[in-house]
């Protein structure tokens, strides 16, 4: 009799270190950074908002982002068997349906914490979790698209987390200027997410994922990613200057020029230079986010 290939229901409880690896702590930094940009852009002193600040950091980092990593690893376990066979699920260290149960538990815990922080944060958390499941899980599986996949990740990692930071501090809907800037940086982050697809071209092609590097080729996809990162920042500079935040506009413009210089090296060999660019050019991008947030929040005259 042929044995079923479906995951076993009864398996040993995973080791804590394997669960932590599944949740990918290294991925928590970008949304926490965007959350802190939201905090700064709100202009609200943190002295009386510490409990909400801590709840927001937990939400954007280990809870929602960690849950999204567990969801992705569970539904991508066959892809990871090609691209990253040492990950906890394909390696068997998290066996059976434990990966799915961890994702469900993280979802429920995220909703519970978000409920305590107010309606705007709860609403943003619900959208973030829906995006996390829709990104990887059927029937939507947005990640198979080179357009919608990076867009969903950019929205949740940058826009929703910035929104959460501003909302959790103000206890209300952020102002129009904050919403416009966070939307622009979310659009630019689409390019950053496209760069992340370069490392998995073979696995994506083999499993039918239509990332931009698969559809366009690595070189053209890299040029598109650079344009997508740069254009929203140009608009940010213009808006900040028009709103009277000249210092912040000048800082963002300088950081953007630095990115453009670094992009020249990236485009020479995108696959080889993407890790280097993520450590340099992407860092300048996120510093620009903070400078913009400081200008909106009236920090030090910015």
Please write the tens of the pLDDT for every residue from 42-55.
999 888 788 889 99
User: Domain locations in the chain?
Assistant: 14-174, 175-302
Question: In the prediction, which pLDDT does 120 show?
Answer: 92
Q: How far is the C-alpha of 219 from the C-alpha of 281, rounded, in Å?
A: 17
Percent of the chain with pLDDT over 90: 71
21 within 8 A of 88, measured Cβ to Cβ: yes
pLDDT band at 3; cut points 50, 70, 90: very low
CATH number, domain 175-302, options 1.20.120, 3.40.50, 1.10.3470, 1.25.40: 1.20.120
Look at the block and give the residue holding tokens 């909106």: 296
Please write the tens of the pLDDT for every residue from 156-208.
999 999 999 999 898 889 999 999 999 999 999 999 998 887 776 766 777 66
Tell me the whole-structure pTM to 2 decimals.
0.89
Tell me whether the CATH fold assigned to 14-174 matches the one assigned to 175-302: no
Q: Give the other-Cβ count within 10 Å of 15's Cβ.
A: 12
Q: Which fold has domain 14-174?
A: Tetracycline Repressor; domain 2 (1.10.357)
CB-neighbour burial class of residue 4 (10 A; exposed 0-12, middle 13-18, buried 19+): exposed
Q: How far is the C-alpha of 207 from the C-alpha of 16, rounded, in Å?
A: 30
Please write the tens of the pLDDT for every residue from 85-134.
999 999 999 999 999 999 999 999 999 999 998 899 999 999 999 999 99
């Amino acid at each position: 009799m042929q044995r079923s290939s479906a995951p076993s229901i009864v398996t040993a409880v995973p080791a804590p270190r394997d669960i932590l690896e599944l949740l990918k702590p290294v991925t928590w930094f970008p949304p926490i950074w965007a959350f802190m940009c939201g905090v700064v852009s709100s202009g609200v002193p943190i002295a009386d908002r510490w409990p909400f600040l801590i709840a927001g950091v937990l939400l954007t980092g280990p809870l929602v982002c960690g849950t999204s990593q567990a969801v992705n690893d569970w539904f991508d376990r066959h892809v990871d068997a090609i691209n990253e066979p040492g990950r906890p699920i394909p390696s068997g260290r998290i066996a059976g349906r434990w990966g799915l149960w961890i994702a469900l538990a993280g979802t429920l815990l995220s909703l519970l914490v978000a409920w305590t922080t107010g309606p705007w944060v709860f609403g943003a958390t619900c959208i973030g979790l829906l995006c996390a499941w829709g990104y990887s899980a059927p029937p939507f599986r947005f990640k198979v698209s080179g357009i919608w996949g990076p867009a969903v990740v950019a929205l949740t990692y940058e826009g929703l987390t910035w929104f959460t930071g501003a909302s959790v501090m103000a206890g209300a809907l952020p102002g129009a200027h904050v919403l416009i800037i966070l939307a622009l940086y979310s659009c630019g982050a689409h390019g950053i997410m496209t760069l992340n697809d370069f490392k998995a071209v073979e696995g994506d092609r083999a499993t039918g994922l239509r990332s931009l590097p698969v559809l366009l080729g690595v070189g053209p996809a890299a040029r598109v990613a650079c344009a997508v990162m740069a254009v929203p920042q140009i608009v940010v500079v213009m808006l900040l200057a028009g709103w009277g935040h000249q210092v912040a506009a000048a800082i963002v413009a300088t950081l953007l020029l630095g990115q453009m210089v670094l992009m020249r090296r990236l485009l020479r060999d995108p696959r080889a230079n993407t890790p280097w660019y993520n450590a340099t050019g992407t860092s300048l991008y996120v510093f620009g986010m903070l400078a913009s947030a400081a200008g909106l929040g009236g920090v030090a005259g910015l």
